[in-house]
């Protein structure tokens, strides 16, 4: 089984993936580490890393194949990264973690995000960027989970219930931050 966890930075992907791995026994492919070790980036004009998405997609697929070919074709894997919405991986489940923009702002401020980067990520969250990209790239409706009021452990438990639901009830949360977007844009 292959699980993809994506979403805007600050929504809890890394911690949720760790907790989900504890619950399920699945292994995690560290996509961020893959970017570093395979040097799938350049430095942009602002000094920030810019990742080549096509190369990353190929590297992630190769890593999944490698893990599955290590004698265990039934290897269960969790992939976690905000860039996983930018291309398609043949996944059994795609989760998009979401967070209330007010809470997300606090989480990103704690990480000392520059104002420009903070606004960019808040805008992405309010515009449903990752959800829309998953729909376009994977051709499926992702399972959204609102992490705003949940711990990583609670979020992972919720994801595990969806994964193991015998009735195939693959419904997550209904997330809509249109009111925040209107306020953000100065509209009524």
- 3-state SS class at 97: strand
Q: What pLDDT digit, counting tens, does each position of 95-125 carry?
A: 999 999 999 999 999 999 989 999 999 999 9
Pairing of strands 49-51, 2-7: unpaired
pLDDT band, very low/low/confident/very high, at 72 (cuts 50, 70, 90): low
Q: For the segment 126-175, what is each residue's pLDDT rounded down to a tens digit?
A: 999 999 999 999 999 999 999 999 999 999 999 999 999 987 778 899 99
Whether the per-residue pLDDT at 52 is higher than 70: the answer is yes
pTM over 0.75: yes
Bridge partners (DSSP) of residue 143 are: 95
Of 28, 24, 34, 23, nearest in space to 5 by CA? 28
Selection from 5, 24, 22, 23 nearest residue 14 by Cα: 5
- The pLDDT of residue 171 is 87
Q: Give the per-residue SS3 of 5-53.
A: EEECCCCCHHHHHHHHHHHHCCEEEEHHHHHHHCCCEEECCCCCEEECH
> 186 or 175, which is more confident?
175
pLDDT at res. 46: 76
Taking Cα atoms as reference points, which of 184, 5, 3 lies closest to residue 100? 184
pLDDT given at position 67: 83
What class is the 2-185 domain?
Answer: alpha beta
The pLDDT of residue 184 is 78
Min mean pLDDT across 16-20, 33-37, 132-136 is at 33-37
Give me the residue spans of the domains in the chain.
Answer: 2-185
């Amino acid at each position: 089984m292959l699980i993809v966890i994506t979403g805007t930075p600050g929504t809890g992907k890394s911690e949720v993936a760790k907790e989900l791995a504890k619950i399920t026994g699945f292994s995690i492919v560290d996509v961020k580490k893959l970017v570093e070790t395979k040097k799938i980036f350049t430095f942009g004009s602002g000094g920030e890393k810019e990742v080549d998405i096509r190369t990353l997609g190929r590297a992630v697929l190769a890593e999944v194949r490698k893990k599955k070919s290590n004698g265990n074709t039934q290897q269960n894997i969790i992939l976690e990264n905000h860039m996983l919405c930018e291309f398609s991986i043949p996944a059994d489940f795609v989760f998009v973690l979401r967070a209330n923009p007010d809470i997300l702002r606090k989480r990103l401020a704690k990480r000392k995000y520059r104002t420009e980067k903070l606004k960019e990520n808040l805008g992405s969250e309010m515009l449903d960027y990752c959800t829309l990209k998953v729909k376009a790239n994977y051709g499926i409706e992702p399972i959204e989970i609102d992490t705003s009021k949940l711990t990583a452990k609670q979020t992972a438990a919720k994801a595990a219930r969806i994964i193991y639901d015998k009735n195939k009830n693959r419904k997550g949360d209904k997330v809509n931050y249109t009111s925040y977007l209107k306020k953000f844009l100065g509209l009524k």
